Amino acid sequence: MLEVVGIRKVFTSGIFRRRSIEVVRGVSFRVHKGQTLGLVGESGCGKTTVGKMIVRLIEPTAGRILFSGTELTRLDPRKLRKLRPKIQIIFQDPDMAFNPRWKIRDSLAEPLKLNRLARGREIIERVLELIETVGLNPEHLNRYPFELSGGQLQRVALARVLALQPELIVADEPTSSLDVSVQAQVLTILKELQRRFQFTCVFISHDLNVARWMSDRIAVMYRGKIVEEGKTESIFGSPRHPYTRALLGAILVPDPEAGRTWRVASLNNVSPEVNLEKAGGCSFQDRCPYAEKICREKEPPLTVSAPDHRVACHRVKNLVPVQANMRGKACFL
């Protein structure tokens, strides 16, 4: 359905003194129809850039993106415009996702008009139908974005995307700016709509627990690369990469009884002394408590380390296996 093969993105700045940074350094994954892939990582790991490249808001520097067998990266603009409505994105900050001078009604009608999917009376009917699909009232249509709460706006964003009957939705941290109780509402709706309309989803999140709840598979990104990828149960049941383990261990569970395991989980600080681009080797070496000589010399490839479970770590065989408990917290040794 969606296949991403070795995509890279290099951002350059400056006309005379060009400086470039490689934000995405060769990412490959596959998402099957109707399924959800959770793309997890911390800020700056390149997960948002990957999402934007899939919907073609950013051109990849290299690599291929295939959607239902069509290669998006080599499509001529006319064909791409035809395919575009089928691939949609929901952004992190709902307050910014709407033209502040437009009523909700106009924002919801925009995709219909732009793609000539409805006209006149039909538009009004479709807009009404859409707003109800996401659990809001028709009265919300006459409001301006600043009059709605973040959770309500994110629902409208969802409705706006659904207007195009997309086959793939990239959800870029859709709830990270929302309160927990609102987050639960929005994600429940997203999941329900996915069941109903059968779209494929790339769910980008920094929160492993949220991604776990949403996704069939999880890919953990660190500094522009996928370091671990596999079925959700497999990732949570037996996380292998030290970074995934650290992420899991860093989750603060709302349970004072859980013991203050967070103490053990902490990583080394990012050390500014190590210039990773020059140094070569594993990009996690400076923070990894298990780093050895080989980690500083050779970059570990993403290899299968268990059935349907890939990890990029030299030391994965030597690490003590961990058992995760039911709440998603890994117990460290």
Residues 275-314 that bind another protein (CB under 8 A): none
Q: Distance between CA 333 and CA 70 in Å, rounded?
A: 47
Segment contacting another protein by CB under 8 A, of 79-87, 234-242, 277-285, 303-311: 79-87
Choose which of 231, 328, 331, 332 interacts with another protein (CB under 8 A). Answer: 328
Among 89, 168, 311, 313, which residue interacts with another protein (rule: CB under 8 A)? 89
Q: Which of residues 4-43 bind another protein (CB under 8 A)?
A: 15, 42-43
- CB distance 198 to 33 below 8 Å: yes
CA 331/CA 333 separation, integer angstroms: 7
Site for another protein, residues 250 to 279, rule: CB under 8 A: 250-258, 260, 262-263, 265-267, 269-270
Instruction: Report the SS3 class of residue 204.
Output: strand
Q: Which of 287, 318, 173 is nearest to 222 (CA)?
A: 287
Type of residue found at 172? D
Identity of the residue, 179 or 308, whose beta carbon is nearer to another protein in the bound complex: 179
CB of 240 to another protein, least distance (A): 17
* Position 179 contacts another protein (CB under 8 A): yes
Question: What is the nearest approach in angstroms of another protein to the Cβ of residue 115?
Answer: 5
DSSP-assigned letters across all residues of 73-137: GG--HHHHHHHGGGEEEE-S-GGGSS-TTS-HHHHHHHHHHHTT---THHHHHHHHHHHHHTT--
- For position 182 contacting another protein by CB under 8 A, the verdict is yes
Opening angle at CA 318, ends 317 and 324, nearest 5: 80
Query: With CB under 8 A, what is the number of residues at the site for another protein?
Result: 74
Residue 191 or 296 with smaller CB distance to another protein: 191
Residues 190-229 that bind another protein (CB under 8 A): 206-210, 212-213
Closer CB to another protein, residue 217 or residue 329?
A: 329
Identity of the amino acid at 223: R
Residue 28 or 110: the one with the smaller Cβ distance to another protein is 110
The helix or strand, by DSSP H or E, that contains position 158, with its residue range, turns out to be helix 150-162
Among 96, 294, 304, 306, binds another protein (CB under 8 A): 96
Q: Do residues 162 and 90 make contact, with C-beta atoms less than 8 angstroms apart?
A: no
Residues 222 to 241: which contact another protein by CB under 8 A?
Answer: none
Q: Across-strand partners of 71?
A: 66
Instruction: Identify the residue whose tokens are 């776990």.
Output: 212
Contact flag: residue 53 with another protein (CB under 8 A):
no
Smallest distance from the beta carbon of 217 to another protein, in angstroms? 18
